[in-house]
Structure formats: C-alpha cells, structure tokens
Amino acid sequence: MSDLQNNVTHEEAYFTDPESASEMARLTKQARLLTRAMGGRWMDINRSTIIDVLDLACGPGEWALEMASTYPNKQITGVDVSQLMIDYARFQATQRSLFNAHFHTMNILQSLDFQADAFDFINIRLIASFMFRSIDNWPRLLRECVRVARPGGIIRLTDCEWFISNSPMTEKLFGLCTRAIHLSGNTFSQDGRQLAVTPMLKRFLRNAGCRNIQHKAFVVDCSSGAESHQSFYEDMLVFLKLLQPLVLHTGIASQDEIELLYTKALEEMNNEDFNCLWYYLTTWGENAK
C-alpha cells in the first residue's frame, strides 16, 4: 500500500465530498441518466418474488424513491454515509407520501446494521469511488450482502470505467484524474489508465458464494448532439471540479494546470465534433446460502 493510501481514512476515501450539496444534485441527475441507459430499474431480473429491496450507497435516493413510487407493494430501504443525502431522501419520501421508502445513515464499509435474511434484492451502483482495493473492502461488503440477503435473493453490482473521448484536453484531464484515483488505491488498474473495476465484479460475486451469475454491458453516448450530452456536460462541470482536491493532493499537477485543463476540457466538450462514450457493466447473482 502506498503512503498516500496509508494517510487516507474511510471518511476521506471518496473521489468527491459526500456532504456536498453540489454532489447531491449531480448524483441525482447521474442516477437518472444511468437508469435510463440501463433500460430501467430492473433490467433482466425477475421481480415477481421481490418484496424487500436494499439500495446501498443510495446517495440522495433517486433510484430508491422511484422504486418506492412505482412499486407501492414493495419495501425499499436506502442507506448512505452522508447525513445530507439521507435527510434529503427522507424529505422527498415524506413530500411524496412514499411510506414504503425508508432511509438510514450507514457506512457500508462497516457491518451492515440489518438482520440476516432481510432482503430479496440488493442494489449497489457506482461505489468504486470509495472502495480501496487493497484493504479487503469489496470482499467484506459482499460477505455482508450475502448475510443480509435471503437464500435465493439477488445481489446486483453496477459500476463503470472512465470516459473515452476524442478530445485532446479532455483526455489529458481525464488521464490526470484516473492517475490520481489510482495513486489513492481506488482502482484495480496496473498503470492508472482505467479504473479496471468492471472485470472484477463477477469474481466478487463468485467469491462471495453467489450462483447463476450474469452480466450485461451498456454505454452512454455523451457525444455532441447525443441525447445524453447535456446531462454529461452538467455532470462533468461539477464532477471534474470536485475532483481537483484529489489531483492536487497527489502532487501530479498544480492548481493552475488543473484549472486551465478544466476550462479547456469543458470548451472541447461543447465542440460539434466532440465524441465520447461512457461504459458500464451490471453483474448480478443469486445468494446460494
């Protein structure tokens, strides 16, 4: 483990600040974009026998709230480490009279505060940002998921790789970001060019004892003129700014360099010839206990 990783606590193990109002707004938009790209909240999963649903690292609760609204006969529970996110999700549930939506502040890097065999479906999306690969976080979390999932219950992981574009300044900035994330210990990549988490998802489930494991890949077209371009641009406007402290902390770039790249990258994202794809993988399996 690097010195940088040794100096980062669990509370600091995020790309961005989980208590940031800007991050909350960004995550809400991102969740909608991701659900649309996945083709819906369930994809190919048989939901007829699913009653109790757990959404881990739920953020401001967009996915869980929509599940509760669409399926009033199901009990939806969301947990997140951020009190700001949970307070917002609870407020939304109250405003919308979603009495089947429940939200709790919880650090999923620790033991989950639920009884065994409590859930039929566990949803986990985009958590690589705080899952150090070198300190047993992934295996420990999956063991907890197996414990709180009912026999035959489904555990689903969805994560992504970094964006791929034809934009020179954007790619340079993306490269600095992935390098900083790599130095912090949050990737499985050997050289920091990618997160390399998606190839690991099936192994995580298999090692935890899941069976009938399946996966499905999909992409979001973030290119100029594409349906998702504006959402992507608004995401990057906030996300790349919130990532700057991490890049500066690693010492791989100065504040002036980062600010210049940030400005140039955003300009290129609005060019007519900007092309960009964002790759995701969803992997799910049944609890075999």
Instruction: Enumerate residues 6+ apart whose C-beta is below 8 A from 21.
Output: 84
What is the structure's pLDDT at 126?
Answer: 87
The residue ranges of the chain whose pLDDT is under 70 are: 1-22, 24, 39-44, 132-135
Nearest to 208 by CA among 284, 265, 110: 284
What is the structure's pLDDT at 186?
Answer: 75
Give the count of domains, the chain: 1
What is the structure's pLDDT at 3?
Answer: 39
Domain assignment present for residue 201? The answer is yes
Domain assignment present for residue 63? The answer is yes
Domain assignment present for residue 162? The answer is yes
Strand partners, 154: 121, 286
Longest CA pairwise span in the chain (Å): 55
Domain assignment present for residue 289? The answer is no
Instruction: Enumerate residues 6+ apart whose C-beta is below 8 A from 110.
Output: none
CATH of the domain at 108: 3.40.50.150
Domain assignment present for residue 288? The answer is no
Half-sphere exposure of 95 (CA within 13 A, CB side): 7
Domain assignment present for residue 123? The answer is yes
What is the structure's pLDDT at 238?
Answer: 87
| pTM listed for this prediction | 0.86
What is the structure's pLDDT at 213?
Answer: 97
DSSP class of 23? H
The DSSP annotation for 64-124 comes to HHHHHHH-TTSEEEEEES-HHHHHHHHHHHHHTT-TTEEEEE--TTS--SS-TT-EEEEEE
Q: Which domain holds residue 70?
A: 3-283
What is the structure's pLDDT at 187?
Answer: 78
Domain assignment present for residue 156? The answer is yes
For residues 278, 176, 31, 18, the Cα torsion angle rounded to the nearest 10 degrees is 170
What is the structure's pLDDT at 4?
Answer: 39
Residue 82 burial (CB < 10 Å; 0-12/13-18/19+)?
buried
Domain assignment present for residue 168? The answer is yes
